[in-house]
Amino acid sequence: MIVVSGSCLGVIRSKYPDYASKPGVEIVHATEAIAELIEDGSLKLNQPVHQKVTYHDPCYLGRQSEPTPEWKGEEKIALGVMTYTEPPRPVNFGTNGVFEAPREILGAVPGLDFIEMQRVREYAYCCGGGGGAPEAYPELARTAAEHRLEEARSTGAETLVTACASCMGQLAGAQNGQDEAVARMRVVDVIDLAFEAAGLKE
């Protein structure tokens, strides 16, 4: 099953096995599928895209899509209040999410000048757009987006690329009222950029 949403990937790949049932099929994000098509030569990116870009790692596509490690044990209660597991349950550190595929796509686009931000992969700063934060804590969510936009601006990038519709909306929405370098920065999805480089975008 190929999913475009990082949130869907995170839920189906890493949460369903814990709270519902393990899917009987492989769950793949669109960036993983596209990176594979590029690698095996099925998708050619021949159209140069002359832009300086940086990439924002979405929380759900990255940290939150890490598969849950296999664990067989039991939960116990100490002193009638504290729950613990025996043997200890392995901890996810967010390091095995989808980080490489979007970067492989960016690396395959001719003419692209890709510059990483300071906080990337499992250490990437949240855009503030997930988990209902914009509705519950709008000021906090906007501040998070503004911090991430400033970090993107500090790379000198003209374009901020991500792989999440929620991140795109949150980051683009926070551009209003910012300085000119941030306000004019293009915010795009890595899939759209790949289509542009493949000559498939109108």
| Domain regions of the chain by residue span | 2-197
What pLDDT was estimated at residue 200?
86
Tell me what the pLDDT averaged over the chain comes to: 92
Is the model's pLDDT at 20 over the cut of 80?
A: no
Choose among 198, 4, 187, 179: nearest CA to 98: 4
Helices (H), the chain: 6-10, 16-19, 30-39, 100-108, 133-136, 138-153, 165-173, 180-183, 190-197
Q: How far apart are CA 29 and CA 3, in angstroms?
A: 5
* CB-based burial label for 37 (10 Å; 0-12, 13-18, 19+): middle
Residue 71 sits at the vertex; the CA angle it makes with 24 and 131, to the nearest 5 degrees, is 70
CB neighbour list of residue 201: distance below 8 Å, 6 or more residues apart: 192, 195
Virtual CA dihedral for 54, 59, 61, 62, nearest 10 degrees? 80
What pLDDT was estimated at residue 23?
81
What pLDDT was estimated at residue 150?
96
Which residues pair with residue 10 across a beta bridge? none
What pLDDT was estimated at residue 93?
86
Is the model's pLDDT at 127 over the cut of 70?
A: yes
Q: What is the Cα gyration radius of the chain? A: 19
Distances (CA, A) of 54 to 26, 38, 147, 183: 29, 20, 15, 15
Q: What is the reported pTM?
A: 0.89
